[in-house]
């Protein structure tokens, strides 16, 4: 059974993001996946502690063992979050800081000036995000900084074989219901495509 880790990062339970996370979970379970859902605002502390940083490369303290195990075992990672100020919500950035650690997501490789990936199970990544800005600002003015940061700065060094898909709902603060439905149809299509790729890898 495909193991899917769903990370949701929005503080409001009645938000569009919460609705999209519920949609994603329903669609993923309909594919027969085993879904582990983490709502980060439900008690996750994003602050990297002094102890964690001091032992980051040498002897890291034993923290967040369940979250790290879930990441290491996941074949599919789905992130549902708003884009704020062209970046991740602070709580999601903290999840990367505290969970994607050495001996979990990567091994330091100072001789290479880089890192060795450890997330060998991870095959598919889907990012579902909402933005207040229109599409042309993200593409032409900003040049998709967050997409590049996720793909090149996080996924590629830790899971280079994983395929990353990015779905952004623009002008989300005033989005009509019909456009939300079309966006949900795109999500459904991506999840079905991921299932096919998991069965028949490239």
Per-residue pLDDT, 101: 95
pLDDT in tens, 120-149: 999 999 999 999 777 877 777 777 889 999
Whether residue 4 contacts residue 74, with contact meaning beta carbons closer than 8 Å, is answered with: yes
Structural domain of 156: 3-199
* Beta strands across the sheet bearing 3-8: 34-39, 3-8, 76-82, 124-130, 163-169
Query: Smallest Cα–Cα separation from 77: which of 192, 173, 178, 191?
Result: 191
User: How many separate domains does the chain show?
Assistant: 1
Whether residue 60 contacts residue 49, with contact meaning beta carbons closer than 8 Å, is answered with: no
152 pLDDT band (50/70/90 cuts)? very high
pTM: 0.94
pLDDT in tens, 179-199: 999 999 999 999 999 999 997
Strand locations in 49-100, DSSP E? 76-82
**What CATH number is attached to the domain comprising 105?**
3.40.50.360
89 pLDDT band (50/70/90 cuts)? very high
Strand locations in 87-156, DSSP E? 106-109, 114-117, 124-130
């Amino acid at each position: 059974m495909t193991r899917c880790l769903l990370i949701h990062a929005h503080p409001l339970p009645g938000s569009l993001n919460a609705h999209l996370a519920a949609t994603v979970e329903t669609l993923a379970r309909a594919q027969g996946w085993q879904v582990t859902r983490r709502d980060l605002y439900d008690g996750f502390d994003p602050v990297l502690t002094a102890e964690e940083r001091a032992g980051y490369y040498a002897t890291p303290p034993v923290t967040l063992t369940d979250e790290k195990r879930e990441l290491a075992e996941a074949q599919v990672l789905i992130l549902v979050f708003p884009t704020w100020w062209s970046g991740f919500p602070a709580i999601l950035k903290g999840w990367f800081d505290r969970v994607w650690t050495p001996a979990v997501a990567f091994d330091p490789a100072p001789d290479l000036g880089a890192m060795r990936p450890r997330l060998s199970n991870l095959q598919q990544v889907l990012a579902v995000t909402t933005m207040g800005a229109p599409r042309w600002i993200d593409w032409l003015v900003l040049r998709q900084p967050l997409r590049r940061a996720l793909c090149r700065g996080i996924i590629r060094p830790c899971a280079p074989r994983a395929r990353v898909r990015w779905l952004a709902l623009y002008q989300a603060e005033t989005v009509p219901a019909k456009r939300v439905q079309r966006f949900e149809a795109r999500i459904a299509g991506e999840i079905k495509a991921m299932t096919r790729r998991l069965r028949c890898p490239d």
